[in-house]
Amino acid sequence: MVERKASWAIAAVAVILAVGAAGPIRTPIGVVTAVAQTAPAALSEAQAVNGQPGVVAEIVQCKRESGVLSIRMRLRNTGETKANVHLISSRNYDQYYVTAGNKKYFILRDSEKNPLTTQAGGLGDLSAEMPKDGSYVWYAKYPAPPGEAKKVTFYTPITPPFEDIPIFD
∠ CA 93-140-126, nearest 5°, is 50
Q: In the chain, what are the domain boundaries?
A: 2-33, 47-166
CATH class of 47-166: mainly beta
> Within the chain, which residues score under 70 in pLDDT?
1-40
User: 3-state DSSP call for residue 33?
Assistant: strand
First to last CA, the chain: 60
- Phi/psi at 16 (nearest 5 deg)? -60, -45
- Phi/psi at 134 (nearest 5 deg)? -90, 170
pLDDT digit string, tens, across residues 102-130: 999 999 999 999 999 999 998 999 999 99
Q: Name the amino acid, one letter, at 26.
A: R
The pLDDT value recorded for residue 39 is 60
The pLDDT value recorded for residue 42 is 85
The pLDDT value recorded for residue 140 is 98
